[in-house]
């Protein structure tokens, strides 16, 4: 990863913050499984598993807490 993947936690609005939280959740997976090929192989598994999707949403929720705090909740 030559270019920066997480330059800042500050975003323009909640939506951009939510997208950042999704990106961070994927980064957490990416650094544990760096092979794009294996991740591609796993995608249809978790994308069609109800529980995997719920757990993914849990990771996003946790990362969004961090991003929202960093942005003082965009108040």
Give the phi and the psi of residue 49 in degrees, each rounded to 5.
-110, 120
Query: Of 16-75, which residues contact its own copies (CB under 8 A)?
Result: 18, 22, 24-29, 31-33, 38, 42-43, 45-66, 68-70, 73-75
User: Among residues 2, 7, 12, 40, which is the contact residue for its own copies, using CB under 8 A?
Assistant: 7
CA distance 45 to 13: 32
CB 19 → its own copies: shortest distance, Å? 8
Alpha helices by DSSP H, listed for 1-75, are: 14-32, 36-47, 50-70
CB 50 → its own copies: shortest distance, Å? 4
């Amino acid at each position: 990863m030559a270019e920066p993947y997480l330059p800042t936690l500050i975003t323009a609005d909640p939506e951009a913050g939510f997208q950042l939280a999704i990106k961070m959740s994927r980064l957490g997976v990416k650094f544990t499984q760096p092979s794009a090929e294996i991740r591609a192989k796993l995608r249809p598994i978790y994308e069609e598993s109800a529980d995997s999707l719920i757990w993914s949403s849990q990771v996003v929720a946790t990362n969004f807490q961090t991003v929202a705090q960093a942005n003082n909740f965009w108040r």
